[in-house]
Amino acid sequence: MKPATPGTPSSSRNNTMAQFFSTHPSRADNFSESVIREMTRLSLKHNAINLAQGFPDFPCPAELKAAACEAVNEDYNQYAITWGAQDLREALAARVKQFNGMTFDPQAEITVTCGSTEAMMASMLAIIQPGDEVIVPEPFYENYGPDAQISGAVPRYVHLADDFSIDEEAWKSAFNKKTRAIILNTPNNPTGKVFSKKELAFIADLCIDNNVIAITDEIYEHILYDGRKHVSIGALDGMHDRTITIGSFSKTYSVTGWRVGYALAGKEITARLRKIHDFLTVGAPAPLQHACVAALHLPESYYRELAREYDRKRHILFDGLKNAGFSCELPEGAYYIFTDIAGFGMSDTEFARYLVEKAGIAAVPGSSFYHEGGETKLRFTFSKKDETLVEACRRLETLNSR
């Protein structure tokens, strides 16, 4: 046996990592790995069609590819300014003014992040002290749960009704002295709900009355159907300085792997957020930030076409799901269909496993969008080529004959 180092009690030589982990819990113990990302891995393993994780299987616009190659060739390969390349922040300020009706100073109120995922995490870390409460409408995009855990926030869930309407009294009573923020997501993932101006005005009043910040994830702002219009809560009266609006290039321009998103907020919040962002990531990929400027110069017709394309895909998947016996509604926005599977006699996780292994289709179990419940739900994305969706529908139809 090796002699103990002089001065080290010999009993400490018996320390094990198992002891370490059992006596030193971490905040990472409080949540599990992303089910959405796990379903992608299972989908690859079973060579299934991935209707789980929301990303396109079709190419991004050629203009973006060319701009990205050009940026690399022109040597935009070192760090950009930590809170985002100047030209991108300027282009974002112009775009947001025109589309969202909000004015932000690119010098002090815009932060470019590694996707909306980092923007949400940095936002919460910037405004939350452990023990503060954060209101989370449920069902919610999976990340918000772990985001709350990591930042030390205590989530207070408010339920959307089955028709995804707001129970005003329940929302009012969710606010208290400890409430620091509410997390909104419109168009919504997974439900497809698009919050109306009236609903957002009600929420804005609650934020102002209770001195609470709205953190709003608007990543699907260009994917709305049936003539609906996107409204940013940050554009409503009195909300500019108490809203963090999160956006991204991922969904609008089909570049989910680029990891370029942004957070728009008043000066005070931005100053805090930028410090967190700086030490978390230093910055988003510099050449891709340059390519994102080209994205913002695409013509208006690009956005109309995007919504039209997704509308067609929405109908292909919806019809396929209905034919296969799923109970669902057409979403108002975003690119998911949130189905009810009660009629199939399996739980969400059992059914998701069955689908990926036996039918070759990956979907996301509904419980990943709830802190409790969701076992009768399954989410499918239609952010895929028409031919992928048609094949997925063919496979779904075989469920009827099993």
Q: How far apart are CA 114 and CA 282, in angstroms?
A: 9
Closest distance of CB 53 from ligand GLN, Å: 4
Q: How far from each other are the two terminal CA atoms of the chain, in whole angstroms?
A: 63
**Which of 27, 37, 45, 297 touches ligand GLN by CB under 6 A?**
37
Closest distance of CB 165 from ligand GLN, Å: 23
Binding residues for ligand GLN, total number by CB under 6 A? 6
Q: Which region, left, alpha or beta, applies to residue 245 given φ > 0 means left and ψ of -120 to 50 means alpha?
A: beta
> DSSP string spanning 177-233?
TTEEEEEEESS-TTT-----HHHHHHHHHHHHHTT-EEEEE-TTTT-B-TT-----G
By C-beta, is 53 or 216 nearer to ligand GLN? 53
Closest distance of CB 219 from ligand GLN, Å: 7
Tell me: does residue 257 bind ligand GLN (CB under 6 A). no
**Using alpha carbons only, what angle is made at residue 401 by residues 396 and 402, rounded to the nearest 5 degrees?**
90
By C-beta, is 189 or 388 nearer to ligand GLN? 189
By C-beta, is 53 or 252 nearer to ligand GLN? 53
By C-beta, is 100 or 188 nearer to ligand GLN? 188
What are the counts of helices (DSSP H) followed by strands (DSSP E) for the chain? 13, 12
Q: How far apart are CA 124 and CA 156, in angstroms?
A: 14
Residue 290, both tokens:
């340059």
Instruction: Tell me 246's DSSP state.
Output: E
Residues numbered 180-239 forming contacts with ligand GLN, rule: CB under 6 A: 189
By C-beta, is 53 or 367 nearer to ligand GLN? 53
Q: Which residues contact 198 (CB under 8 A, 6 or more apart)?
A: none
Name the pairing type of β-strands 110-113 and 261-264.
antiparallel
Instruction: Tell me 80's DSSP state.
Output: P
Tell me: does residue 36 bind ligand GLN (CB under 6 A). yes
Q: Which region, left, alpha or beta, applies to residue 253 given φ > 0 means left and ψ of -120 to 50 means alpha?
A: alpha
Closest distance of CB 380 from ligand GLN, Å: 10
By C-beta, is 276 or 363 nearer to ligand GLN? 363
Closest distance of CB 268 from ligand GLN, Å: 29
Burial class (CB in 10 A: 0-12, 13-18, 19+), 155: middle
Residues numbered 43-62 forming contacts with ligand GLN, rule: CB under 6 A: 53-54
Closest distance of CB 46 from ligand GLN, Å: 18
By C-beta, is 54 or 247 nearer to ligand GLN? 54
> In degrees rounded to 5, what are phi and psi of residue 170?
-65, -40
Residue 263, both tokens:
């957070």
Closest distance of CB 86 from ligand GLN, Å: 27
Closest distance of CB 180 from ligand GLN, Å: 24
Convert residues 114-133 into a mask of x (bound to ligand GLN by CB under 6 A) and - (unbound).
---x----------------
By C-beta, is 35 or 291 nearer to ligand GLN? 35
Tell me: does residue 252 bind ligand GLN (CB under 6 A). no
Grouping H, G, I as helix, E, B as strand and the rest as coil, residue 91 is helix
By C-beta, is 37 or 197 nearer to ligand GLN? 37
Closest distance of CB 371 from ligand GLN, Å: 17
Q: How far apart are CA 385 and CA 383, in angstroms?
A: 7
Q: Which residue is nearest to ligand GLN (CB)?
A: 54
Which residues in this chain contact ligand GLN in the complex, by CB under 6 A? 36-37, 53-54, 117, 189
